[in-house]
Structure 1
Amino acid sequence: MKAELGGDPFSGTVYVFRAKRTDRIKLIFWDGTGMCLVAKRLEDGEFRWPKMQDGVMHLTAAQFSALFEGLDWKRVHARDPARVPVTPG
């Protein structure tokens, strides 16, 4: 898998594969004791996928969570850092 996908499968990375049908995905990841394969099929709706570039995409944890729940992950954005008030003086 390392040669094909260009990453370390033992690093905690979750590899997500889409099926031809848009309501199904498969995930492969290392849980510390072995490789895990998870398959998910949505009862209603479809998984929203971005346009692929070079066959690989990188999602934040929040975007991945939204994708896995069947939500539109493109609507998930990182918060802007909080601005610290400055004391006049």
Structure 2
Amino acid sequence: MGYTPPQPDDIYLHIDAVDFRKSINGLLNIVETELELDAFTGTLFIFIDKNQDKSKLLYWEATGLALLHKRLEKHKFKQPKLNDLNHIRLSEQQLNWLLGGYPL
């Protein structure tokens, strides 16, 4: 049986840098308290670290929460700077750009 990547209903990027010592429970707390969203749906949540070279993706699978971690070797994640928002909704294409190190 192979792994199937998530097919999210919605994709949200958390704008502020996240302490990457946080794992599933810490990121779940951000989703529920800061973003005020439900993590137990088909939504994918993306978090970027302070150095902008690592990302964590949190999403609900049929049997539990899953966490993916990506590190860019030579580039930085091009995260938008938005003063009044703590998250933005992305399209699948924007997710691909972000994870590839391209600007949104």
Give the share of equivalent positions with the same residue, in percent.
34
Is residue 2:62 matched to residue 1:27?
A: no
Q: Any gaps of 5 or more consecutive residues in structure 1?
A: 75-89
Provide the aligned length of Structure 1 versus Structure 2.
73
Q: Any gaps of 5 or more consecutive residues in structure 2?
A: 1-27
> 2:32 is matched by which residue type in structure 1?
A
- TM-score norm. by structure 1 comes to 0.72
Runs of 4 or more, structure 1, over 3 Å off, are none
Which structure has more strand as a fraction of its residues?
2
The CA RMSD measured in Å over matched residues stands at 1.5
Residue number in structure 2 paired with 1:57: 88
Higher relative contact order (Cα pairs below 8 Å, separated by 6+ residues): 2
| CA–CA separation in structure 1 for the residues paired with 2:32 and 2:59 | 16
| CA–CA separation in structure 2 for the residues paired with 1:66 and 1:59 | 10
Q: Secondary structure at the match of 1:57?
A: strand
Residue number in structure 2 paired with 1:77: none
